[in-house]
């Protein structure tokens, strides 16, 4: 496969090898039967310096300054 250098669209590459599914959406946020509403909790373990819980106000949590998405 030839290496690509340009991405057109909404999707961007994630420069991380072997991303665990728990890193994408931690298990404590998977207690919904709907397939919507997961966005605010995506990459929770990388995005914030503390451990999040369902229903928690993310605006009050300390952000990880090294995380960029």
What are the Cα distances from residue 16, in Å, to 23, 45, 46, 53, 69? 11, 14, 12, 25, 12
Q: Considering the domain boundaries, does residue 40 fall inside one?
A: yes
Number of domains in the chain: 1
User: Which is higher by pLDDT, 1 or 37?
Assistant: 37
End-to-end CA distance of the chain: 26
Residue 8 lies in a domain: no
Task: For residues 47 and 24, give the distance between their C-alpha atoms in angstroms, rounded to a whole number.
Answer: 11
Per-residue confidence band for 43, with pLDDT thresholds at 50, 70 and 90: very high
7 inside domain: no
In a domain, 1, yes or no: no
Q: Domain residues for 51?
A: 21-60
Asked whether residue 39 is domain-assigned, the answer is: yes
Rounded to whole angstroms, how far apart are CA atoms 57 and 3? 41
pLDDT bucket at 47, cuts 50 / 70 / 90: very high
Q: What is the mean pLDDT of residues 28-43?
A: 88
pLDDT band at 11 (very low <50, low <70, confident <90, very high): confident
pTM attached to this predicted model? 0.70
Task: Say if 38 falls within a structural domain.
Answer: yes
């Amino acid at each position: 496969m030839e290496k690509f250098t340009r991405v057109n669209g909404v999707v961007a590459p994630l420069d991380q090898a072997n991303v665990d599914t728990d890193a994408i959406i931690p298990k404590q946020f998977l207690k919904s039967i709907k397939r919507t509403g997961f966005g605010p909790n995506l990459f929770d373990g990388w995005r914030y310096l503390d451990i999040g819980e369902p229903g928690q106000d993310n605006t009050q949590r300390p952000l990880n300054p090294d995380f960029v998405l």
